[in-house]
Chains A and B, each alone.
Chain A
């Protein structure tokens, strides 16, 4: 009876301890970590790098000398996943700003700018420190884009793994707001295949 008790206690402790190990590791921002066929943070980095390079190496930004002002109207998500495309535009804006060759309108903060302006003119702020109204700069270009995806599953057949092919494409355009002409357009792609087992423990 003692042996039985010892056996079951030992087995229970072993099972409890074996499932309790937590491991963590730091992942570098340049490191490519991919778990499945879906969209990953490393894809965002690759997409942004491609687009910044293209924008700066082709007209109109290549030949612009007056640091043109751009407004970003976001990237439409037309994929089958909930992807935060504002993260792409945020990184794109930051990378372009860091080159010092363009300037950006802070479109997302417009309401706050209006609120702050109203406050300054509400009577509490000293007149000489108030910002001047009607001094905002108009954008010359508008940056927009669309992120699309196509997913293809391997057809049904007898197998132990299921393969999925995923295709992402980001198309971006720079439109001259005065003429309405598209002055620059480019696209970048990510194609990935992943396989998942059908059977697990």
Chain B
């Protein structure tokens, strides 16, 4: 009885019509996957973060393949709205999910071999996995939870150690890590991060003042001498520090790339456009208050480096998928007529879609600006000039009171 039931069940699946129907259904489902995420990022960039949130709160249409992206996007939108606590909640869940993704799912990988990468849960590029911790660090610093910011700094360091080459140009995050250590008087760790940053930055001038300060405290006379020559002229001094996290522009989106070989072989791969976000010249008004040299990262550059680091893996998997699909098409052709093979080839060809999912609400550039001030009441403005563009922006910062030795944090996006 049971055997005859099994035979009847699988005979149904073996019908070519049923299989094409399943493939067609998959095609339909996968096509509409990222719709809500795209709409949400469009709302966000149209200056409607609240509407973007409403869409993101609804979650994925089908399954949890894009769960990570929903959490990441919500993390940035809540940060933008100043709800740092909620941003933390979303991003901590995202970080937990990323840890879970370290385990390779056999069923998921097998499924993606006959369809495409959209079938798998989005695991985040190396750069995106790092920026989860960057935003968590910023959120905790803005809330004055310095111990927690340091926890995130350590987790970000782990990510950097895992992919040193891909994340080498994540200067903003690396300077933020050093700041988290410095903020809790962990001088040795702060020094080490600044020292590595000095080696990788185009010029060590940006972090020379910090290296000299911590090397001096740690009694490293030779290092003090070495980096003293890189100190900028008229190095500002102050009793307190206002730290600005300045975000501008929009991270480039992943684009679909295709290589088609006859009769129906299609290699599909994602790539980032070569667009970079301009680095603004920042001035503090009134101009008597000066800042340390800013540390800035173009997020598009780091994202491109991360994707390039995964290139070998992407090519290997794509080759395997193409081979699997070719074998399926030929098998259908052998068992059925030429029309069935043609339909199968067209379906598999259309299913071959590059995975262009990415964290879209991220800015194009993040800059860390530290302004040295005397203790007291301040009302400041931030003036931004872009190279080659006449246009300039002036942003009013909320008035604040700062104590001697205090470090205060503010986040700005324009």
CB within 8 Å of B: which residues of A?
A: 3-4, 6-8, 10-11, 76-82, 85, 151, 162, 196-201
Q: Interface residue tally of chain B, by bracket? A: 20 to 34
Given the interface pairs A80-B155, A197-B103, the reply to whether A7 lies near B148 with Cβ below 8 Å is no
Say whether B106 contacts A200, CB under 8 Å.
yes
Q: Is the CB of B9 within 8 A of A4?
A: yes
Chain B contact residues: helix, strand, loop or mixed: helix
- For residue A200, give the distance in angstroms from its CB to the closest CB of chain B: 5
- Which residues of chain B are near A4, meaning CB under 8 Å? 8-9, 11-12
Chain A residues lying within 8 Å of B184, measured Cβ to Cβ, are 76, 78
Contacts of A80 in B (CB 8 A): 151, 154-155, 158
Identify 30 residue pairs between A and B in the complex whose beta-carbon atoms are under 8 Å apart, listed by A's number. Answer: A3-B5, A4-B9, A4-B11, A4-B12, A6-B5, A7-B6, A7-B8, A7-B9, A76-B184, A77-B147, A77-B148, A77-B150, A78-B147, A78-B184, A79-B151, A80-B155, A80-B158, A81-B151, A82-B92, A82-B148, A85-B147, A196-B102, A197-B103, A199-B103, A199-B104, A199-B106, A200-B104, A200-B105, A200-B106, A201-B106
Binding site for A on B (CB under 8 A): 4-6, 8-9, 11-12, 92, 102-107, 147-148, 150-151, 154-155, 158, 184, 186
Q: How far is the CA of A80 from the CA of B156 in the complex (A)?
A: 10
A196 close to B103 (CB less than 8 A): yes
Docked CA distance A151–B148 (Å): 17
Of A11, A85, A200, chain B has the most CB atoms within 10 Å of the CB of: A200
The 8 A-B residue pairs with the shortest CB-CB distance in the complex, in nearest-first order: A7-B9, A3-B8, A80-B154, A77-B147, A7-B5, A200-B103, A4-B8, A4-B12
Cβ contact of A78, chosen from B4, B107, B150, cutoff 8 A: B150
Name the residue of chain A whose CB is nearest to the CB of B136.
Answer: A82
Q: Are B186 and A151 in contact (CB under 8 A)?
A: no
Chain A contact surface mostly: mixed
Closest CB in chain A relative to B385 CB, distance in Å: 40
Cα A6 to Cα B12 in complex, Å, equals: 12
Within the complex, the shortest CB–CB distance from A188 to chain B, in Å, comes to 20
Cross-chain contact of A201 among B5, B105, B148 (Cβ < 8 A): B105
A7 cross-chain contacts in B, Cβ below 8 A: 5-6, 8-9
CB-based contact A78/B186 at 8 Å: yes
Q: Write the nearest CB–CB distance from B342 to chain A, whole angstroms.
A: 28
* Contact present for A151 and B158 (CB under 8 Å): yes
CB distance from B263 to the nearest CB of A (A): 35
**Shortest beta-carbon distance, B319 to chain A, in Å?**
21
Q: How far is the CB of B102 from chain A (nearest CB, A)?
A: 7
Nearest-Cβ distance from residue A167 to partner chain B, whole angstroms: 14
In the complex, what distance in Å separates the CA atom of A85 from the CA atom of B150? Answer: 14
